[in-house]
Amino acid sequence: MLESGGFDLDVATQALTKGQNVGFQYYDLGLIRPRIFGGSSSHWTGVCRPLDAIDFEHRDWVAHSGWPLSRAQLDPYYARAQPLCQLGPYDYDLTNWETLTTQALPFASRRLLTAFSQISPLTRFGQLYREEIGGASNIRVLLYGNLVEIETTPNAREVLRLHAACIGGRRFTIRARAYILAAGAIENARLLLASDRHSPAGLGNAYDVVGRYFGEHLTVSGAFFLASRDDPVTDLYKSQRQFGVNRYAYLVPSAETQQTERLLNMRTSLHGVAQLTALRWSGPGIQAADDLVEGLRRGEVPEDLPEHLWRAITDLDSISMYAYLTFLEPKKKIPAFLLTSHIEQAPNPESRVTLSDERDELGMRRAKLDWRFGDLEKHTFRRGMEILAEEVGRAGLGRVRVVPEGAHLEGPEFQHARGQFDRSQVPDHSGWPPPGVRGSYHHLGTTRMASDPRNGVVDANCRVHGVANLYVAGSSVFPTVGYTNPTLTIIALSLRLADHVKALLA
Amino acid sequence: MALTRRHFVLALLAAHASRIEPWFRIAAAWASSPAGRAPWAAHRLAGCLRETEAARVIGRAYLATAPAEAGVEALVTELTRPRQNQEAGPAGTAGLKEWLAQRSRDDFAAGRVVSVDGWLLSESEARLYALVALLPRSATHASQDGA
């Protein structure tokens, strides 16, 4: 095992990850991918759930969708991945988790469903498994060794050796029967592209796919749910420990809804908002002027509209006497929720990692990220919120407010939800992404899996097309990314790859 | 008062009052309402809401986005337009209120949704609030009818 970092963060080593953002505004590449034993598990959030079955399927409304694997094929590996992440049983059937106090929202249709994630106790793989790995007779760990080139035979059909370098100048090579590249979606692509000794376009890049289809999970805090009942959102939707397992639930469009409405996959979490006044934003509101309505002028919307609305809908819906009983109570008792959506990014060949002309301390060209996404993500968010509004209204649960494009969430409690985008950078998608959109620190898809080498970098066994003994592990092999956090799938795929390589080498 | 086509239709409805008694009352009242006075049908609809001031605020915001609907007659017509699978509303205010709430839920189910300052509301509730906004305050503070 060749590890770039050590057991603790090293500034000089970490600086090797610096790169350039040239697309939609993104995080500092030098800060978000820790080079440390245990990798990204040193700073993950522990949210785990397998991808849905539909995420593996070809969807005619999502270009380049479909895995050469099914969810059923990966299920046994998901089950093995659960305990490695210190999770509960491999059981994501909601009916086995509902209790009297943890009921799903009672929608009248199955357009929206409730799903949930299990939460790992932030398993730090580099710490938890350090002793086991260190004691294994068949594993040798080399720390502070940085892979700088994968050298192949002249016909690029087999890896001959790895070239590694240390900060400070020492260089060495490594030979093995099989090689597994596991450096994250940005570095995996960077290393393949940089290994151009016998492949001018980069290793495994005969069809110009390496580095393309960089994906993320779009996090959008752009809507509110104002409940007409006193407490419709049960503990199910809060991060809580249940049956010895940490979990929290959220709303998702059913597979049928995704197909009917031509949506990407997404989830929407509900976060309680203490003050009703928080349901405001600055920016465009009502845009109208008409003399027919006395007193209405452009932008004249009362600041306490949410409270008026809440009073009106509880009146009309006739759901409970709560509205009356609390009419004179402090406003903070009105149940309101910030809706935060995590949206699948569609595969986009123009969203890509390439090499910049700048070189790092070891002489490697740095990564250049051009992150892009388009109209399908926008449609998914907008239509997803409309469907949510329709279903909560239909069930008499309340109303939904969608933050207008160009508006800004106000108040310190939404500081975390503010986006980082400079809107001037997205001239092709006016109003999109809204200011609340940001990435989720999930780097996906740059060495995607496909049966046909024209469509992907690795095959169903994660082997680089055309190279006999080179494999890729990690989320860079995801052809599509669903809405769920990637770690559990990364581990399931890694277990499957390990089984495959062990069988080959036996 | 000239008999418009709409008044004629409503009067016709009134003639079949045996099954749709409340709309007979509404229609008859509407057809005979003198100009300058809050129409009786609008009064009945608005009377379903206790939170009239809240409704008025939202209604004004809705009308700002849909100024073409800023007319009592048009709003009453839309709010009482017969729909398939929905029986005529009962006579009492409580029954009429539930009838409106069901109409609102049906709107959501059918995707008949409007945006008011980002709030996604059913067409019917937005129009009901708009109706309240157009009526004089004295007309929306009338006593309930014992429903």
- Give the pLDDT of residue A404: 63
Q: What is the mean pLDDT of residues A226-250?
A: 79
Alpha helical stretches, state H, A298-358 = 305-317, 322-325
Confidence band for A286, pLDDT divided at 50, 70 and 90: very low
Number of H helices, E strands in chain B: 7, 2
Q: Report the residue from B50, B57, B98 with minimal CB separation from A305.
A: B57
- Whether the CB of A453 is below 8 Å from some CB of chain B: the reply is no
How many other C-beta atoms can be found within 10 angstroms of the C-beta atom of residue A186?
22
- Nearest Cα residue to B134 out of B41, B71, B48: B71
Percent of chain A past pLDDT 70, that is, above it, reads 80
Sheet strands (E) in A81-227: 112-119, 146-152, 159-165, 171-174, 179-181, 217-227
**ipTM score here?**
0.77
DSSP for B44-86, please give it: HHHTT-S-HHHHHHHHHHHHHH-GGG--HHHHHHHHH---TT-
Spatial distance between the Cα atoms of A158 and A178, rounded to a whole number of angstroms: 9
- Give the pLDDT of residue A216: 96
pLDDT above 80: residue A333: no
- Give the pLDDT of residue A394: 93
Query: Which range, of A213-227, A344-358, A436-450, B49-63, averages the lowest pLDDT?
Result: B49-63
- Whether the CB of A165 is below 8 Å from some CB of chain B: the reply is no
Confidence band for A357, pLDDT divided at 50, 70 and 90: very high
Residue-wise pLDDT tens digits, A432-443? 555 557 889 999
Contact B122 A393 (CB under 8 A): yes
Q: What single letter denotes the amino acid at residue A152? A: T
Phi-psi region of A441 (alpha: psi -120 to 50; beta: other; left: phi over 0): left
Give the rounded distance of the alpha carbon of A53 from its chain centre: 17
Q: What is the mean pLDDT of residues A353-362?
A: 97
CB of A62 closer than 8 Å to CB of A275: no
- Name the burial class of residue A29, with classes exposed (0-12), middle (13-18) and buried (19+) by CB atoms within 10 angstroms of its CB: buried
Between strands A470-472 and A179-181, the pairing is parallel
- Give the pLDDT of residue A138: 92
Confidence band for A322, pLDDT divided at 50, 70 and 90: very low
CB pairs under 8 A between A and B: 128
Q: Report the residue from A312, A389, A407 with minimal CB separation from B113.
A: A389
Residue-wise pLDDT tens digits, A127-162? 999 999 999 999 999 999 999 999 999 999 999 999
- Give the pLDDT of residue A423: 42
- Nearest Cα residue to A374 out of A437, A291, A293, A317: A437
Query: Which range, of A250-259, A418-427, B56-65, averages the lowest pLDDT?
Result: A418-427
- Nearest Cα residue to A350 out of A241, A478, A445, A258: A445
- Whether the CB of A369 is below 8 Å from some CB of chain B: the reply is no
CB of A367 closer than 8 Å to CB of A186: yes
CB of A37 closer than 8 Å to CB of A130: yes
Mean pLDDT, chain A, integer:
85
H, E, C per residue of A436-449: CEECCCCCECCCCE
Q: What is the mean pLDDT of residues A427-436?
A: 50
Residue-wise pLDDT tens digits, A386-421? 999 999 999 988 888 887 665 555 444 444 444 444
Spatial distance between the Cα atoms of B38 and B51, rounded to a whole number of angstroms: 19
- Name the burial class of residue A95, with classes exposed (0-12), middle (13-18) and buried (19+) by CB atoms within 10 angstroms of its CB: exposed
Query: Which range, of A84-88, A472-476, B135-139, averages the lowest pLDDT?
Result: B135-139
Query: Which range, of A209-213, A307-311, A491-495, averages the lowest pLDDT?
Result: A307-311
Distance from CA of A239 to the nearest CA of B (A): 27
H, E, C per residue of A103-137: CCCCCCCCCEEEEEEEECCCCCHHHHCHHHHHHCC
pLDDT above 80: residue A68: yes
CB of A43 closer than 8 Å to CB of A387: no
- pTM for this structure? 0.84
Query: Which range, of A176-185, A303-312, B41-50, B82-91, averages the lowest pLDDT?
Result: A303-312
pLDDT above 80: residue A313: no
Residues from B contacting A (CB-CB < 8 Å) are 48-51, 53-55, 57-58, 60-61, 63-65, 67, 70, 97-98, 100-101, 104-105, 107-109, 111, 113, 115-122, 125, 128-129, 133
Q: What is the mean pLDDT of residues A474-482?
A: 98
CB of A145 closer than 8 Å to CB of A172: yes
Tens-level pLDDT at each residue, chain B (147 residues): 444 555 545 444 444 443 444 554 555 555 455 444 447 788 888 888 877 887 888 888 899 889 999 999 899 888 888 777 666 666 677 788 888 888 999 999 999 999 887 789 999 999 999 999 999 877 665 434 332
As a whole number of Å, the CA-based R_g of chain A is 25
Best of B48, B52, B56, B60 to mutate (most A CBs within 10 Å, chain A): B60
Q: What is the mean pLDDT of residues A442-449?
A: 97
- Give the pLDDT of residue A444: 98
Confidence band for A454, pLDDT divided at 50, 70 and 90: very high
Confidence band for A324, pLDDT divided at 50, 70 and 90: very low
